[in-house]
Structure 1
């Protein structure tokens, strides 16, 4: 639905929002009464004529205003063709046919408007998610204030089973939160509090388990949340703003049909004008030539074509938004549907994004529990991210806590750590650390390390009392859903799935084998990823790039379609990506690609239907083989079919 039509509709709401639909129905009612009175009674002729006149008024009201406004700007469009056809029908005395034309056209217009509004409302419903007020904790007291009065740094109290009033970080309490309105996740997500030191954290630097979003619904426990974004900057507000802008980004097919209409409408007007004078060449009256010309005018109007693409695009975008996926316009929707190659960032996209303890291997018959206790004591005193990950996983897997038996932990840059445990030296790190510490690394140890390194693990040797007593390994493990997602992508026809990573090639290859990638490119700097995308574009013509929208922005910008994961709360991801998966779930990818393909399919069907009817009707009407009534029914019927076909996308589900 174009913006001009919306403005006209807003300024003429006699019966509220459905005024246009009621006018169309009144047109049909007066048309039916006029027809019945004319055919079935002996009433004077002025009665059915008056009914047809009312049918003309109600059927032509909105489209006449719109056509006039466009005409004053020098534009001829479909509305103008319809008004011209109706006036022509009245001129030759075919009042019932003209009234039927206006009734069906106005009904099509109204249903088109309804279809568009339904698609928009399913997105704009997000705007009603934000609560109108929030309970704020100030000076130890609770007070309820309007959402607009919230300030960054305020602490809001979220009661059980109520909506969260702002984007922020949980600083007290733990609860499960229903994030479906923002991310489309069907299951509630556990949120826990973060220790708060006084300095406001940045939202994109906080673990997602501590972050809550405006409009999401708290579970059974009370939370205290520190506000980090005002309502106008929240994820939900940004989402609504971006959805309202997607219509401006027309799809390639839409741009093509608009170009076609620009030339087609004046040609139709010229042909119809010439047909009015067919009586000069063939044996018929001026009235017959005029009737034929008006019938051709009805048949040739590309109403269904005009609505075929925008209705499908908007329905597709609306369906994606219901599932927590923001598609920015028709171009991204159509492009994604034609993709057969996808490049993935590794960390946080195909993998969990944080190292996990993968192997604990004691040597020399060393007791495993004693071994992990020693490692835990040392690593729990280090601030290195790998040390923190190892300490966390040992505590979780072995259910033990440090006893503060280690001391004097010293980081050995690029090699590991050195410490004292029960008055003896401990070294945890790489082979180089062992060599400079005069600790022998046997062939057996090298062999054990080699197997793990080949499979992408980061390996650390553990030495105590001047001998190696075991090794531990960590790895950024694949997401649980990665393998099944890639399998589904392969099933729906994605031929090339490539991982681009800055990690060592061995690490990439190991993960690639586990989850079923077709290619892995390792040791890549950000500029190398850009070159990799250029190479893939030359080979595959089109490529989608999936990442977090931050680290890989240059490579994503170069790709045909960029897809950002976990975009809720990330300004950069929302702004740079063509498609934003609001949740952190890679398994949404097959759904959104399937939806894009369904949208492309429906756009093609709609264009085939709309052009097919025009191609069929125009020759038939030029040859005078049908009357204006049948032309109207076929023509407007195709418009309704196209709209209803597009609305099917609102119920799209993956197989």
Structure 2
């Protein structure tokens, strides 16, 4: 292009000049022509066609330098856009580089350093301090602190012990570990994270879809307007064709919506990349937009607002049916131990967090658990199990009301007191005159209520509020969330006690999964609703909400598939971060759209009213595209 300009200056417009500008047009417009041909095949008119037509028009009126500069700057701006997009993607794909290519594997009593592709599930791998975990595994031997920041965004090391999971790409910091491979390389958590980010970046936001649909109509309108700018002045007002055509080509260039079209994807891709590096995964631009408009947030209680590791805080036994309830002092009570043993023996067959708390506490007291031969679980109420010749029930008060517990009134005052303290109460009792034929193995709820029961005692369990829960609720309120609620299956008094401490506006308690769905639907009258849960038990509510947010999803396939936004760690502070990021991205998108439209209006008005030179129009048009792209890239550095 520049050599062509020099050739014209010193040798005039000869063969050399023509060849040089032909080369500039070929190299500058090669990809634009290819893209334009593809668009024509699809029956569309887009900005590539507009740019090529404008460049050819400039050459036609004797301004090949302006046309070549247009093609060069257009290609250069497209290159910058591609670099910006690849930067957001490389920020994520670089996580894969943290995973080593080989691992020290123990086979047949000998150590072998093998490529990761040769490792199988169940293989034993040794990991030294300072080394990265090669594959998702479970610790067999050793204890160490691991840096999981590459996956969760959390900088504080996490202590891992035998039986706990470790993830590929995380760094072993202090002690040597022996681990057993649990997932192949292609199925590792970090590989899934990268795939999901790339899929999210391909998922277009609603604004982007609208602009792309409008591009066809807009580009066609620009072509028709340009034709009118040529025909009307020439045919009606007899203006010189050269001047009219030159001005029309300038208008075609400056009216092209390049900056307008890139304004949204540049911001969305950068925001998704920024979130993923913090351990916040948006499933697509649409959910980024939705989260920015959320006005109501619902929290699950267990494992979300609370730590999710309930502990037994009291075991209470009945001395006999006529005596008042007696609390075991520091659990040093034979009757309390006997009650705990019965409850733990039945709960050992359950996967519920409360069941695990009871079993762990019984084992910490060195109690021997009995074999539970029959076991039935009743959603939202409790469990029933057979221990020898006895049938033991462990559950909430409703389970015993349905089974006509004969001494339930003796324990009601203590249950109320414990609920007011924010403790969950598990009633332990024996079923009498059980109609065993009515208790199917499937655990059909219809079987409940066909027996008589007597209460043996109570077990109180408490789950501590997360230390940052109060701060997070306050931050969400300061951001502009109008209503913050808690949805839980727990007893009303327990839920309200925790809700008061956390600063929650409203508490929905005693909810089964379908009850949470109904609560979410009811909350939508206040605005768009986000639901925060663990992604497993709360799956229906997450799906019903406008935005479902799963917490602590690292290594949890169900959570990563269920939610719209996935928080890889269980850090509550990532929720206000995600909300701020989504709102910041919408602000930048608005800035880009406003700036792009303003530039188009100013340049078109200048071209029509003040005969704007084509080179100035080209620089203004392509410069605005680059500035919009760079403005979107700022989101990569967002700190929240």
- With normalisation by structure 2, the TM-score equals 0.82
Worse-superposed segment, 44-53 or 519-528: 44-53
Looking at structure 1, the residues matched to 629 and 595 of structure 2 have their Cα atoms a distance apart, in angstroms, of: 11
1:608 to 576, 594, 604: 594
What is the aligned partner in structure 1 of residue 283 from structure 2? 328
Asked whether 1:236 is paired with 2:190, we answer yes
1:532 to 519, 523, 526: 519
Looking at structure 1, the residues matched to 215 and 580 of structure 2 have their Cα atoms a distance apart, in angstroms, of: 30
Q: Is the 8 A contact 1:377 1:402 kept in 2?
A: no
Looking at structure 1, the residues matched to 459 and 562 of structure 2 have their Cα atoms a distance apart, in angstroms, of: 39
Looking at structure 1, the residues matched to 464 and 281 of structure 2 have their Cα atoms a distance apart, in angstroms, of: 28
Q: Is the 8 A contact 2:312 2:462 kept in 1?
A: yes
> CA offset at residue 247 of structure 1?
3.2
2:181 to 220, 223, 227: 227
- Deviation track 1:170-222 (CA, whole Å, cap 9, x = no partner) reads 1111111111111111111110002xxxxxxxxxxxxxxx1111111112211
Closer, same or farther in 2 for the Cα pair 1:341/1:95, shift >3 Å?
Answer: same
Looking at structure 2, the residues matched to 415 and 285 of structure 1 have their Cα atoms a distance apart, in angstroms, of: 92
What is the aligned partner in structure 1 of residue 485 from structure 2? 498
Q: Is the 8 A contact 1:376 1:391 kept in 2?
A: no
> CA offset at residue 353 of structure 1?
2.0
Closer, same or farther in 2 for the Cα pair 1:439/1:250, shift >3 Å?
Answer: closer
Q: Is the 8 A contact 2:427 2:459 kept in 1?
A: yes
Q: Is the 8 A contact 2:490 2:509 kept in 1?
A: yes
What is the aligned partner in structure 1 of residue 237 from structure 2? 282
- With normalisation by structure 1, the TM-score equals 0.80
Asked whether 1:250 is paired with 2:218, we answer no
Looking at structure 1, the residues matched to 540 and 369 of structure 2 have their Cα atoms a distance apart, in angstroms, of: 45
Looking at structure 2, the residues matched to 430 and 80 of structure 1 have their Cα atoms a distance apart, in angstroms, of: 70
> CA offset at residue 114 of structure 1?
0.7
What is the aligned partner in structure 1 of residue 249 from structure 2? 294
What is the aligned partner in structure 1 of residue 557 from structure 2? 571
- Deviation track 1:514-533 (CA, whole Å, cap 9, x = no partner) reads 11111111111111111111
Asked whether 1:452 is paired with 2:418, we answer yes
Looking at structure 2, the residues matched to 167 and 378 of structure 1 have their Cα atoms a distance apart, in angstroms, of: 40
Closer, same or farther in 2 for the Cα pair 1:460/1:67, shift >3 Å?
Answer: closer
Asked whether 1:617 is paired with 2:584, we answer no
> CA offset at residue 456 of structure 1?
2.7
> CA offset at residue 226 of structure 1?
1.4
Worse-superposed segment, 129-138 or 163-172: 129-138
What is the aligned partner in structure 1 of residue 225 from structure 2? 271
3-state SS of paired residue (1:185): coil
Looking at structure 2, the residues matched to 617 and 387 of structure 1 have their Cα atoms a distance apart, in angstroms, of: 70
Looking at structure 1, the residues matched to 168 and 273 of structure 2 have their Cα atoms a distance apart, in angstroms, of: 20
Looking at structure 2, the residues matched to 136 and 410 of structure 1 have their Cα atoms a distance apart, in angstroms, of: 40
Q: Is the 8 A contact 1:184 1:324 kept in 2?
A: yes
- Structure 1 portions without partners, runs of 5+: 1-29, 195-209, 396-400, 420-427, 463-469
Closer, same or farther in 2 for the Cα pair 1:224/1:378, shift >3 Å?
Answer: farther
Looking at structure 2, the residues matched to 375 and 651 of structure 1 have their Cα atoms a distance apart, in angstroms, of: 57
Asked whether 1:130 is paired with 2:99, we answer yes
Q: Could you say what the CA RMSD is over the residues aligned between the two structures, in angstroms?
A: 3.8
Worse-superposed segment, 374-383 or 630-639: 374-383
Closer, same or farther in 2 for the Cα pair 1:461/1:233, shift >3 Å?
Answer: closer
> CA offset at residue 560 of structure 1?
0.8
- Deviation track 1:590-646 (CA, whole Å, cap 9, x = no partner) reads 111110001111111111111111122223323353121221121111111100100
The size of the alignment, in residue pairs, is: 585
Looking at structure 2, the residues matched to 305 and 370 of structure 1 have their Cα atoms a distance apart, in angstroms, of: 69
Closer, same or farther in 2 for the Cα pair 1:82/1:372, shift >3 Å?
Answer: farther
Closer, same or farther in 2 for the Cα pair 1:347/1:70, shift >3 Å?
Answer: same
1:510 to 484, 497, 500: 497
What is the aligned partner in structure 1 of residue 170 from structure 2? 216
Q: Is the 8 A contact 1:380 1:388 kept in 2?
A: no
Q: Is the 8 A contact 1:341 1:544 kept in 2?
A: yes
What is the aligned partner in structure 1 of residue 528 from structure 2? 542
Asked whether 1:145 is paired with 2:132, we answer no
Looking at structure 2, the residues matched to 347 and 369 of structure 1 have their Cα atoms a distance apart, in angstroms, of: 26
Looking at structure 2, the residues matched to 440 and 318 of structure 1 have their Cα atoms a distance apart, in angstroms, of: 58
Looking at structure 1, the residues matched to 366 and 44 of structure 2 have their Cα atoms a distance apart, in angstroms, of: 82
Looking at structure 1, the residues matched to 5 and 462 of structure 2 have their Cα atoms a distance apart, in angstroms, of: 79
> CA offset at residue 64 of structure 1?
2.4
2:260 to 293, 305, 311: 305
What is the aligned partner in structure 1 of residue 436 from structure 2? none
What is the aligned partner in structure 2 of residue 191 from structure 1? 160
